[in-house]
Amino acid sequence: MQMVKKVFIVILSIWLAILVFMPKKELYYALEHQLEKNAIEINEKNIKENLFGLDIKGADIFYDGVKLAKASDISFKTFLFYTKIDISKIDIDDSFKSMVPFRLNDINVTYSLLSPMRANVYANGDFGDVAGYIDFNRTIHLDFVKVGNIKKLQRELKKTENGWYYESKF
Amino acid sequence: MKVSFKDIVQFLFVPLIIFAFIKIIWVLLETFVLPKEGINHTQVITAKPLHYNVKLIKQERQIKPKPVIKKHLSNIKDIQLIAIYADNDNVVVTVIYKHKTKVLSKGDTINGFKLIAGAKDYAIFEKNSKQYKVDLLKSKTSYNGSINIVKTQNKPISNTTNNDDVIDKGDYKVINRKIFDHFANNMDDIYKNIGIQEIKKGNKKEFKVSFVRRGSPFAKLGIKRGDIIKSINGQEIDSYGAALRTYSNIKDANMLTVVVIRNNKKLELEYEIN
């Protein structure tokens, strides 16, 4: 029993030390450098670290040098075995409103070690609510759990008896 | 059970060692591996400003041209003025130089002559502090008169039929403003009429026309399957970013110059939006 207790304390200490001492800002910068290789750039006004993650305020998102959107809040949270990214108050740049014919409010992405090959996605906007996953085998699948105004999106969607869904390979 | 100080130290010893060890690892990573600064987006402008839109500075218009030397120098004759658009702020001309059609906005230079001003039927160029007047070519050629954009813009746009989406005027084509605005605001409809295929060429990308729907406005524009789109209004189309930038800036354009590669030859397609 003493042995089990000691192992538990060691594991808990390692987990806590990794999270608490993690240089979150620098890791986020490393993520930015990785995204830049894929032509995605994020310019943020403010980064604030907290115990289990960091919060980003006023992030302008660029693709290939062109501003696509502004996200007022991006929040990263990690417990190592479970990670969550919340992007809220997304405002598509005026120039691209004709290309992105819908309003996007929030996107939540969660990743769990229990399903290591996929990240779960939830988003809502004037198209309704979608929930689905990004498979690391390069597939996106999104189910419309609550259908809003999808008129402009319909040609990209497929329908089954369970409702509308979007699927794409990238 | 009494907990002594020694017991507490013994209990915390291992966790503290772990904390110290992990902290050292993170500090080393932070110092030697991880970047200390993020990426700050900087706007890279590689494109020539759009004709008719960007390079037209209001204040420049107020500068009255110096007395005009009507006597043409030999090489100013090489420039033939076939169309002009001039209002209070803007001067844009279409000229023929060495059998090629060029669109110039105020401040642009051709053959060393800088376009500085214009009126309804002439343009004024400057070279070596001397000014030269070039008259608009009259309608004996196929270029019949001024592109009087201001007037035509103010006219109500009539209901268009498929036949007047694009009017062929010989060296250039006139695109119906209504049709142009529709495509400028509905990217999806573009892809119903024309297919663009991305071709990677080193670090850059080329955009090749994979199909053009028969009878569509794009077919009338003279764009053909296999054309590689090199630039639009001076903006080189070599990345998605450049394509998106051009698309987002194109809405207010009154003229379009599309450079394509067709059968290994560079071809310049000129359009007026009216």
What is the per-residue pLDDT across B184-196, written as a single tens digit (0 to 9) for each?
Answer: 877 767 877 888 8
pLDDT digits (tens, 9 = 90+) for A79-118: 999 999 999 988 888 767 666 667 788 999 999 999 999 9
Domain count across chain B: 2
Identify the domain boundary among B128, B155, B182: B155
pLDDT digits (tens, 9 = 90+) for B81-116: 888 877 767 788 888 887 777 888 888 888 888 888
Pair (B266, B182) in one structural domain: yes
The CATH number assigned to the domain holding B138 equals: 2.30.30.830
Pair (B142, B174) in one structural domain: no
Q: Do A32 and B44 touch (CB under 8 A)?
A: no
**What part of B 240-259 touches A (C-beta under 8 Å)?**
240-242, 244-245, 247-248
Interface pTM, i.e. ipTM:
0.84
Domain of residue B169 covers 157-273
Tokens of B173: 């084509």
Closest residue in B to A155 (Cα–Cα):
B188
Give A67 or B158, the one with higher predicted confidence. Answer: A67
Q: CA of B39, closest CA in chain A: separation in Å?
A: 6
Identify the domain boundary among B113, B130, B155: B155
Per CB-CB distance under 8 Å, the chain A contacts of B239 are: 39, 64-65
Pair (B151, B234) in one structural domain: no
Residue B63 has pLDDT above 70, yes or no: no
Length of chain A (residues): 170
On whether any CB of chain A is under 8 Å from the CB of B28, the answer is no
On whether any CB of chain A is under 8 Å from the CB of B35, the answer is yes
Tokens of B163: 């036949």
Looking at the partner chain, which of A22, A30, A33 has a beta carbon nearest the beta carbon of B26? A22
Output the CA–CA distances (angstroms, integers) from residue A93 to A67, A68, A96, B12, B248, in the order listed: 7, 5, 6, 53, 10
Task: Give residues with Cβ within 8 angstroms of B160, minimum separation 6.
Answer: B176, B178, B179
Collapsing DSSP to helix, strand or coil, A168 comes out as strand
Pair (B141, B178) in one structural domain: no
pLDDT digits (tens, 9 = 90+) for B206-242: 888 988 888 888 888 888 899 999 888 888 888 777 7
CA–CA gap between residue B7 and residue A75 (Å, rounded) = 41
Its pTM stands at 0.61
Pair (B122, B165) in one structural domain: no
pLDDT digits (tens, 9 = 90+) for B139-156: 443 443 344 333 333 333
Q: CA of A11, closest CA in chain B: separation in Å?
A: 9
Q: Do A98 and B186 touch (CB under 8 A)?
A: yes
Task: Give residues with Cβ within 8 angstroms of B273, minimum separation 6.
Answer: B174, B175, B177, B180, B253, B254, B255, B256
Collapsing DSSP to helix, strand or coil, B70 comes out as coil
Q: CA of A86, closest CA in chain B: separation in Å?
A: 20
B126 touches B116 (CB < 8 A): yes
Pair (B111, B150) in one structural domain: yes
State the pLDDT confidence band at B71, using cuts at 50, 70 and 90.
Answer: very low
